[in-house]
Amino acid sequence: MTAATAHGAAVVEPAESPLTPESWGKLGMWIFLAGDAVGFGTLLAGYGAMRATSADWPNPYEVLGINLTAIMTFLLICSSVTMVKALEWLGKGDRRRAINFLLYTAAGGAIFVSLQAYEWTHLIHRGLLINGNPWGASLFGTSFFLVTGFHGLHVTAGVIYLVSMVRWVLNRPDPAASYNGVEILGLYWHFVDLVWIMVFTFLYLL
Amino acid sequence: MATAHAHPNYMKIFWWLAALTVVELIVVFLPFGKLTNGTLLCALALGKAALVAAFFMHLRFETKTLTWIAFTPLAIATLLIFVLMPDGFAVAKKTQAASAPAAVAPAKH
């Protein structure tokens, strides 16, 4: 087959350059993330449409409060940094430091989800429910829980993904052998951070 | 092979993201009105998202095709906003008509 390519098709019509020479997995993750982003984009566009057509939409940052959420945003940004540091150490061949940073990242995600659980409990006690609230349009609660819940689910999945990848890296004695896998994991984790930047702006700040 | 592309200065990106978040929190309380504040906040959010995608997700150092893949959902979401707009206008018109009884007077033949 190689001979045929070399003598035939490749000469007449050069083969397409590979999208990601290092890994098809990276392309796969990007395509998955694009699909996932359409899901989040649809949720946020729907949120905008519901809010624009509502006469009594509550003022989000007065109802939800943004102090805790600002800390959560900062936490996710920090966890993105520990994620890139993990990959950097793996690239330098230091598996132990890389694993430490992967665990810091997982801890950041776990704290984020815990803070979100605390925030939800607090808001539910104040009367924000999925089907109504004391401040105005009932869809406010519906969309809030739907969007932040969908994102929280992604963070939870990310923490599980991170912890299972720690095992995966440990099973490979050569750090270079796990570089691609950890880079793909990083793509997912940064995507979760990126989506939170949008969610924080649209649901809390606007 | 492991260090196929050079690592950018991640701490610099981190400080940018942190600073832009602080700017966002300040913009919320600026007295420029909903439209100006909203536009500013959207621009800041897109800027932060672009920083994460370009540097943390290495898009700047990858082949252009991955950037196109990343832009597709943004284009679809933007289109969706325009698709939903007529619906929004229709509801707004209906609410206005309901609050002004004279407008709903004509009978059907």
Residues B14 and B46 in one domain: yes
What are the residue ranges in chain A where pLDDT is below 50?
A: 1-10
DSSP A174: S
Searching chain A, which residue's CA lies closest to the CA of residue B44? A201
* Domain presence at residue B56: yes
Residues B44 and B74 in one domain: no
Number of Cβ atoms within 10 Å of the Cβ of A57: 16
Searching chain A, which residue's CA lies closest to the CA of residue B77? A41
Backbone torsion region of residue A114, taken as left when φ is above 0, otherwise alpha when ψ lies between -120 and 50, otherwise beta: alpha
* Domain presence at residue B104: no
Residues B42 and B70 in one domain: no
Give the residue among A75, A142, A77 at the shortest CA–CA distance from A114.
Answer: A75
Segment B23-49, tens digit of pLDDT: 999 998 888 888 888 899 999 999 999
* Domain presence at residue B107: no
- In b/e form, how buried is each residue of B68-77, taking b as 16+ CB within 10 angstroms? ebbeebbeeb
* Domain presence at residue B51: yes
User: Domain ranges in chain A?
Assistant: 24-205
Residues B36 and B70 in one domain: no
The answer to whether residues B51 and B13 touch, using CB atoms and an 8 Å cutoff, is yes
The answer to whether residues B37 and B27 touch, using CB atoms and an 8 Å cutoff, is yes
Residues B56 and B67 in one domain: no
Residues B47 and B29 in one domain: yes
Q: Say whether A205 and B28 touch across the interface (CB within 8 A).
A: yes
Q: Say whether A84 and B10 touch across the interface (CB within 8 A).
A: yes
Angle (deg, nearest 10), helices A67-91 and A95-125: 170
Residue B62 sits at the chain A interface (C-beta within 8 Å): yes
Residues B39 and B81 in one domain: no
**Interface predicted TM-score (ipTM):** 0.82
Residues B68 and B38 in one domain: no
* Domain presence at residue B109: no
Residues B68 and B51 in one domain: no
In the Cβ-directed half-sphere of A51, how many Cα atoms lie within 13 Å?
A: 19
The answer to whether residues A26 and B69 touch, using CB atoms and an 8 Å cutoff, is no
Concatenating the DSSP letter of every residue in A43-56 gives HHHHHHHHHHT-SS
Q: What CATH superfamily classification does A24-205 receive?
A: Cytochrome c oxidase, subunit III, four-helix bundle (1.20.120.80)
Residues in chain A closer than 8 A to B10 (CB atoms): 81, 84-85, 88
Measure CA A194 to chain center. Answer: 6
Q: Which domain holds residue B46?
A: 9-61
Tokens of A24: 């098809």
Query: Minimal Cα–Cα distance from B67 to chain A, Å?
Result: 9
DSSP B102: G
Residues B86 and B44 in one domain: no
CB-nearest partner of A70 from B21, B65, B77? B21
Residues B51 and B76 in one domain: no
Q: How many domains does chain B contain in total? A: 2
pLDDT at A13: 54
Segment A128-174, tens digit of pLDDT: 999 988 998 899 999 999 999 999 999 999 999 999 999 999 998 88
Residues B14 and B47 in one domain: yes
Q: What share of chain A is helix, strand, coil (3-state, %, to 5)?
A: 80, 0, 20
pLDDT at B3: 45
